[in-house]
Chain A
Amino acid sequence: MAGQATAFTATAQQSPGLPGLAALGFNRAQSIAFLLLLGLLLVGPFVLYPVFLMKLLCFALFACAFNLLIGYVGLLSFGHAMFFGMGGYVTAHAAKVWGLTPELAILAGGAVGAVLGVVAGWIAIRRQGIYFAMITLALAQMIFFVCLQAPFTGGEDGIQSVPRGALLGVFSLAQDMSLYWVVAAVFLAGFLLINRIIHSPFGQVLTAIRENEPRAISLGYRVDDYKLMAFTLSATLAGIAGGTKALVFGIATLTDVYWAMSGEVVLMTLVGGLGTVFGPVLGAAVIVSMQNYLAEFGAWVTVIQGCIFVACVLAFRAGIAGQLGRWLRVRL
């Protein structure tokens, strides 16, 4: 696939990053994009609705986590809603029933993502290509039915009126603005962690596996272990994203574990640019904005989304960030 190839432009052509940011693994273009992103995070809540931005950031983290798998290991999971949705339920439950502080509740969401990730990954990773996708989908459907039936999820109603609580038990997050900074910090930490993973010794092996799995095996790498680790990391971050979203809206529902949510994250990543660092953030921004501003069109949103998806696949196979990078001859 030509489009895909460009998104993974060789590290060979990487220009050195800005000092300081290069330590994070960013090249020059990425450093600039990152500073831009930081600026937007700081100014954003004064210009746009904080709740809208928080929603966007939760989905952006979710898409980045998903991209870690598809873009950097080449694994297409079609069941990521199970981690996102379950993360949401567990965080909501932890905050509401156990009375945990928000940071601990979010960590609980991440923990359940990790546990589910190990189990689902262990089952799915022996399968290749489309079978891998099918198994993740099947497992996600099972989780959906568990959520539908289990008493703690509240069935069709979900878990409602989840308290935002006080950060570390001290700083109240009742105000949108206070919560916004927490969400932005969670997003930024997740985003930087993913970037670190990509540029770690572990990430180097992941790249090798994506590029030529038989060769990686013949060099003595137990590739299934690496894939499982990557799957678990991705699931953990998806759980954290789901948990954060549950706190923002004070609710955890079946929507977030539904298969359509697994599809949505695929859409965001593809639209933004699979295998690019900033693509999933852009993709999430586009899709979430569309859902917000086109909400009045009701059912048509899905149709419009479908059209955008088709247009993206046809016109910019590399996604927004991939295409932009191609025009500017940089790697985003």
Chain B
Amino acid sequence: MDAILETQGLSKQFLGFTAVGDVSLSVRRGSIHGLIGPNGAGKTTCFNLLTKFLPPTSGTIRFNGRDITRMKPAEVARLGLVRSFQISAVFPHLTVLENVRVALQRQRGGSFDFWRSDSVLRRFDARARDLLEDVGLTAFAQRAAGELPYGRKRALEIATTLALEPTMMLLDEPTAGMTAEDVDRIVTLVKRVAEGRTVLMVEHNLKVVEGLCDTITVLTRGRILAEGPYAEVSRNPEVIAAYLGTDPSITGAAAHG
């Protein structure tokens, strides 16, 4: 298997509490990989470790054949491993267009030219508009990002992430707190943008997971409980037990399966 992202024995302890323990994860290139588990299972912590927002207590991370265990988060992003956040992360007082442009601006390399007018950034406008169109935000281009409804903010985040042309995207609960139509929109969007990239996503909505993910990994209390295709994992009795009482939908889904 051609793994784009691989971890070996990845662990993170907070003052003795093991949030992530001995996680060896392997994400196949070009796949959409789901990371699921009950609240507090350590999914976000995993993301923070993978993108270097947190240093691991032990273990190694390889991305695209390189050991990134000791890298800084900005360097990891520059290698093409780009994350979104569980809590929507936009630049609220910039316009929607400017939000995307800030990401496109990275193509210039460093932007330390404080003496130049920002009108030089206009050359990114066309591309930014294309990206906004992709996520259905064209009508909002000149609005402040902070004023967008929640679902639109998530869409903006995805557009901003895509602006970097990432090799791999990590999406932390892209559909959390959304209305049904918003969820559908995001699912379609993720499916489309996953063409030619790898996606690792945390998701609580198991319908979404079932529809999108090629492989899923179940995490409970920081450890991997099961891994495999959705149909297989959702039948696993241990997984059902771990979810019982926390999320009835998986037991329901398991029952059909």
Q: Mark A199-235, 1 if CB is under 8 A from B, else 0.
A: 1111111011001101111111111011001000100
- Give chain B's interface residue range (CB within 8 Å of chain A): 35 or more
Q: How far is the CA of A196 from the CA of B114 in the complex (A)?
A: 7
Identify which of residues 111-130 in chain B touch chain A, using a CB-to-CB cut-off of 8 Å.
Answer: 111-118, 120-121
| Contact call B118/A11, Cβ cutoff below 8 A | no
Q: Mark B173-201, 1 if CB is under 8 A from A, else 0.
A: 00000000000000000000000000000
Tell me if B94 counts as interface (CB < 8 A to partner A): yes
Residues of B within 8 A of A197 (CB): 114-115
Q: Mark B83-119, 1 if CB is under 8 A from A, else 0.
A: 1110001111111001001110110101111111110
- Given the known inter-chain contacts A204-B105, A205-B111, please indicate yes or no for A10 contacting B85, CB distance below 8 A: no
Tell me if A25 counts as interface (CB < 8 A to partner B): yes
Q: How far is the CA of A283 from the CA of B34 in the complex (A)?
A: 54
Tell me if B207 counts as interface (CB < 8 A to partner A): no
Q: How far is the CA of A203 from the CA of B112 in the complex (A)?
A: 9
Q: Mark A96-118, 1 if CB is under 8 A from B, else 0.
A: 00000000000000000000000
Interface stretch (choices B4-12, B57-65, B140-148): B140-148
Residues of B within 8 A of A309 (CB): none
- Give chain A's interface residue range (CB within 8 Å of chain B): 35 or more
- Given the known inter-chain contacts A217-B77, A220-B74, A222-B74, please indicate yes or no for A204 contacting B98, CB distance below 8 A: yes
- Given the known inter-chain contacts A211-B92, A215-B89, A220-B164, please indicate yes or no for A12 contacting B120, CB distance below 8 A: no
- Nearest CB to that of B163 among chain A residues? A219
| Contact call A207/B85, Cβ cutoff below 8 A | no
Tell me if B78 counts as interface (CB < 8 A to partner A): yes
| Contact call B91/A211, Cβ cutoff below 8 A | yes
Partner of B95, one of A11, A216, A226: A11
| Contact call A218/B105, Cβ cutoff below 8 A | no
Tell me which of B78, B85, B92, B94 has the highest count of chain A C-beta atoms within 10 A of its own C-beta.
B94
What are the 10 tightest A-B residue pairs by CB atom distance, in nearest-first order?
Answer: A10-B144, A220-B77, A211-B91, A202-B114, A201-B111, A215-B89, A197-B114, A12-B144, A12-B95, A220-B78
